[in-house]
Amino acid sequence: MTADKAPPELDPVIHAQARLRVVAALNVLGEGNEMAFPALKDLLGMTAGNLSVHLSKLEDAGYVQITKTHKGRTPVTFAALTKRGRLAFDDYTKAIRALLDNAGTTLE
């Protein structure tokens, strides 16, 4: 990477390892699809409390939409990536690729 070109910014909301895993998992779902909280928790191997904290941060950033509903009398929570979240993840992956592509270049 040359001295006149600054490295790309990485979104700090997504950059945390747990949140990156959440966003990557939800990004695999088609637009408009959602995943039940227990399925996401099991897929990522996270505790309910840890996942809940990270989903809240992603929701606050507008990257994830949380829907709480009931299946019969049982409460069910779903998580889905918003359009803003998909764009942010796309920008994040482009920034990571740019960093990796330029990792072998030297400063002049």
Let me know: does 23 contact 75? Beta carbons within 8 Å: no
Give CA–CA dist 95/40, Å, rounded.
26
Digit-coded pLDDT (tens) for 67-101: 999 988 999 999 999 999 999 999 999 999 998 88
Instruction: Tell me what pLDDT residue 1 has.
Output: 47
CATH number among 3.40.50.2300, 1.25.40.390, 1.10.10.10, 1.20.120.1760, domain 32-87: 1.10.10.10
H or E segment and range at residue 11: none
Q: The whole model's pTM is what?
A: 0.86
Instruction: Tell me what pLDDT residue 106 has.
Output: 54
Instruction: Tell me what pLDDT residue 65 has.
Output: 97
Give CA–CA dist 81/65, Å, rounded.
6
Instruction: Give me the percent of the chain exceeding a pLDDT of 70.
Output: 90
